[in-house]
């Protein structure tokens, strides 16, 4: 039996949050729109979520401190994120994806892989499917998307990004090498800044350079990661589209209005963040083993630390206990804190779960979680907070869901 050729489509919405805002407010169209924290005339804290392509011309991008964005573009239109609306639009877009195939792997709120191998007979060649998908999204949502189609995920993901916004890039099997070869390493999906810097030092600047580099040497210097990237650089990627949505982590972070020394406020914030993360996990039926702390000092230096425990949990007390431990073993008391973040990952199948010695204790604690969840369900998510946690403040909306 001959194996049918794979066709993977990667779709990613253009300037997603900002484009939704431009759609909702026609007067924003053609203008630099920045979605994110309040810039407070250049004194605002927090970061840019995303911005319209008009704003990108000023050098603004996602995750940039909002005050830097304001400096670059004081006349821009600054909009707070409307998470509820974006999730709804995301759901509607994913419904459209299902018109094309059932083999869909969501990557984030605005992007997914679609395995369209089985759809060609019915819907036509890949290029036509790409055009139709873009048309359907535009027709239904008045938003543009960029699409990449290739024989594998790695190339499809790179392709969708190459001609943004409103792009459609198709890479056939026999063109993969010439397509990848000239691209700079920053186009390499999955390679972090540090890896790229290291590779640059070894004289590797393009994906083509990486493909030509002796495999053994890469393996020696970079281990498994080196071999993985070597294969990708040669366009070899067998990863399949995994249809069900596997959430990898749940996290929340908080930026203080002013950098703080106040240990009391820091402690309360860590409780509150642990509560929020645990609550979100329980809501989604998730339990994880690895607890992550993010700590950013004044001046932006950031450390992340994590600890893996012997059982999966979504229990507020357990998560908080570990966060507290991570914080106190790593915190430098001489420095002010700018941001705190709490996350949990390592979600495994229930069968792999090991029962902890403290299971009874956990059960007891879970009762408290249950009560908390019920109250939140009934009276809203800010209705309850443990005694030691933060008071409800007008800042509550800044806790990003």
Q: Which does 49 bind (CB under 5 to 8 A by kind): ligand TTP, Mg ion, none?
A: ligand TTP
Candidates 106-114, 237-245, 283-291, 347-355; binding stretch for ligand TTP (CB under 6 A): 106-114
Q: Does position 49 bind ligand TTP by CB under 6 A?
A: yes
**Residue 311 to residue 147: CA distance in whole angstroms:** 41
Q: Which of 57, 393, 109 is nearest to 254 (CA)?
A: 393
Q: Which is nearer to ligand TTP, 53 or 331 (CB)?
A: 53
Q: Does position 84 bind ligand TTP by CB under 6 A?
A: no
Please answer whether residues 48 and 61 qualify as being in contact, where contact means their C-beta atoms are separated by less than 8 angstroms.
yes
Candidates 8-16, 56-64, 135-143, 268-276; binding stretch for Mg ion (CB under 5 A): 8-16
% helix, strand, coil for the chain, step of 5: 45, 20, 30
Q: Which is nearer to ligand TTP, 16 or 154 (CB)?
A: 16
Q: At its nearest, how many Å lie between ligand TTP and the CB of residue 129?
A: 20
* Pair of tokens at residue 201: 């030092």
**Residue 243 to residue 104: CA distance in whole angstroms:** 5
Which residue in 21, 54, 105, 111 is the catalytic one? 111
Q: Which H helix or E strand runs over 218?
A: helix 215-233
Angle at 133 between CA 128 and CA 137, to 5 degrees: 150
* Pair of tokens at residue 67: 């005050």
Size of the site for Mg ion (CB under 5 A): 4
Q: At its nearest, how many Å lie between Mg ion and the CB of residue 20?
A: 11
Q: At its nearest, how many Å lie between ligand TTP and the CB of residue 93?
A: 12
Please answer whether residues 8 and 151 qualify as being in contact, where contact means their C-beta atoms are separated by less than 8 angstroms.
yes
Q: Which does 62 bind (CB under 5 to 8 A by kind): ligand TTP, Mg ion, none?
A: ligand TTP
Question: Can you tell me which of 110, 237, 317, 369 binds Mg ion, judged by CB under 5 A?
Answer: 110
Q: Which residue has the tokens 């997914």?
A: 112
Q: At its nearest, how many Å lie between Mg ion and the CB of residue 16?
A: 5
Q: Which does 164 bind (CB under 5 to 8 A by kind): Mg ion, ligand TTP, none?
A: ligand TTP
Active site residue 197: no
Q: At its nearest, how many Å lie between Mg ion and the CB of residue 160?
A: 9
Candidates 7-15, 55-63, 124-132, 155-163; binding stretch for Mg ion (CB under 5 A): 7-15
Q: Which burial class, exposed, middle or buried, applies to 393 when counting CB atoms under 10 A from its CB (0-12, 13-18, 19+)?
A: exposed
Q: Which does 77 bind (CB under 5 to 8 A by kind): ligand TTP, Mg ion, none?
A: none
Q: Which is nearer to ligand TTP, 21 or 237 (CB)?
A: 21
Within positions 113 to 172, which residues make up the interface with ligand TTP, using CB under 6 A? 164-165
8-47 footprint of ligand TTP as x/- string (CB under 6 A): ----xxxxxx------------------------------
Q: Which H helix or E strand runs over 371?
A: helix 359-379
Residue 60 CA: distances (Å) to CA of 35, 131, 194, 213: 11, 29, 22, 35
* Pair of tokens at residue 233: 């650089």
**Residue 22 to residue 79: CA distance in whole angstroms:** 10
Q: Which is nearer to Mg ion, 106 or 288 (CB)?
A: 106
Q: Which of 128, 162, 166 is nearest to 144 (CA)?
A: 166
Q: Which residue has the tokens 């939704």?
A: 20
Q: Which is nearer to Mg ion, 13 or 155 (CB)?
A: 13
Q: Which burial class, exposed, middle or buried, applies to 337 when counting CB atoms under 10 A from its CB (0-12, 13-18, 19+)?
A: buried
Phi, psi (deg, nearest 5) at residue 135: -65, -45
Q: At its nearest, how many Å lie between ligand TTP and the CB of residue 189?
A: 12
Q: Does position 181 bind ligand TTP by CB under 6 A?
A: no
| Positions in the binding site for ligand TTP (CB under 6 A) | 12-17, 49-50, 62-63, 108-111, 164-165
Q: Which residues are catalytic?
A: 111
**Which residues of this chain interact with Mg ion, rule CB under 5 A?**
12-13, 16, 110
């Amino acid at each position: 039996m001959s194996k049918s050729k794979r066709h993977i489509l990667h779709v990613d919405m253009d300037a997603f949050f900002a484009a939704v805002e431009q759609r909702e407010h026609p007067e924003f169209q053609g203008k630099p729109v920045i979605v994110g924290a309040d810039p407070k005339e250049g004194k605002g804290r927090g970061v840019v979520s995303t911005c319209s392509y008009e704003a990108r011309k000023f050098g603004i991008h996602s995750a940039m401190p909002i005050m830097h964005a304001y400096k670059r573009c004081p006349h821009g239109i600054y909009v707070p994120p409307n998470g509820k609306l974006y999730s709804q639009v995301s759901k509607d877009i994913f419904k459209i994806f299902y018109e094309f195939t059932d083999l869909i792997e969501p990557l984030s709120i605005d992007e997914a892989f679609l395995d369209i191998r089985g759809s060609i007979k019915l819907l036509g060649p890949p290029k036509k499917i790409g055009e139709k998908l873009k048309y359907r999204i535009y027709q239904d949502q008045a938003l543009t998307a960029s699409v990449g189609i290739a024989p594998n995920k790695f190339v499809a993901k790179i392709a969708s990004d190459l001609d943004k916004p409103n792009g459609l890039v198709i890479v056939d099997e026999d063109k993969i090498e010439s397509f990848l070869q000239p691209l700079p390493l920053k186009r390499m999906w999955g390679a972090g800044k540090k890896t790229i810097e290291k590779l640059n030092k070894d004289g590797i600047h393009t994906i083509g350079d990486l493909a030509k580099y002796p495999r053994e040497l890469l393996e020696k210097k970079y281990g498994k990661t080196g071999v993985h990237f070597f294969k990708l650089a040669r366009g070899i990627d067998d990863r399949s589209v995994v249809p069900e949505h596997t959430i990898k982590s749940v996290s929340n972070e908080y930026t203080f209005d002013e950098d703080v020394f106040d240990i009391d406020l820091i402690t309360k914030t860590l409780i509150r963040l642990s509560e929020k993360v645990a609550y979100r996990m329980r809501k989604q039926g998730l339990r994880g083993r690895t607890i992550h702390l993010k700590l950013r000092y004044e001046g932006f230096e950031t450390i992340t630390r994590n600890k893996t425990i012997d059982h999966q949990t979504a229990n507020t007390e357990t998560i908080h206990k570990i966060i507290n431990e991570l914080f106190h073993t790593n915190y430098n008391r001489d420095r002010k804190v700018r941001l705190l973040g709490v996350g949990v990952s390592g979600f495994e199948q229930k069968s792999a779960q090991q029962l902890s010695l403290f299971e009874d204790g956990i059960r007891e604690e879970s009762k408290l979680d249950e009560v908390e969840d019920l109250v939140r369900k009934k009276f809203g998510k800010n209705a309850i907070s443990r005694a030691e946690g933060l008071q409800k403040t007008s800042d509550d909306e800044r806790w990003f869901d």
